[in-house]
Amino acid sequence: MKPVVGIVVSNKMQKSVVVAVDRLFHHKMYNRYVKRTSKFMAHDEDDSCNIGDRVGYMVV
């Protein structure tokens, strides 16, 4: 399992949030770093997370 840190982008569900995780990777052809965003759903038992909060969790 890999620990990741992301930003909460949606908290409209009950006991769940959507977290956006940014990562940089090196593009070989353009010789530049490109930012990609992945969205993961995370469990929030207390409904305490708000949009814009920075959270860390484990990706399975």
pLDDT of amino acid 7: 96
Kindly indicate whether the domain formed by 2-59 is annotated with CATH number 2.40.50.140: yes
pLDDT of amino acid 36: 96
Our CA angle for 16, 55, 3, nearest 5°, is 100
Residues near 39 by beta carbon (within 8 Å), at least 6 away in sequence: 9, 18, 19, 20, 21
Count Cβ atoms below 10 Å from residue 21 Cβ, excluding itself. 16
Q: How confident is the model at residue 4 (pLDDT cuts 50, 70, 90)?
A: confident
- pTM confidence score: 0.81
Question: What pLDDT digit, counting tens, does each position of 9-46 carry?
Answer: 999 999 999 999 999 999 999 999 999 999 999 999 99
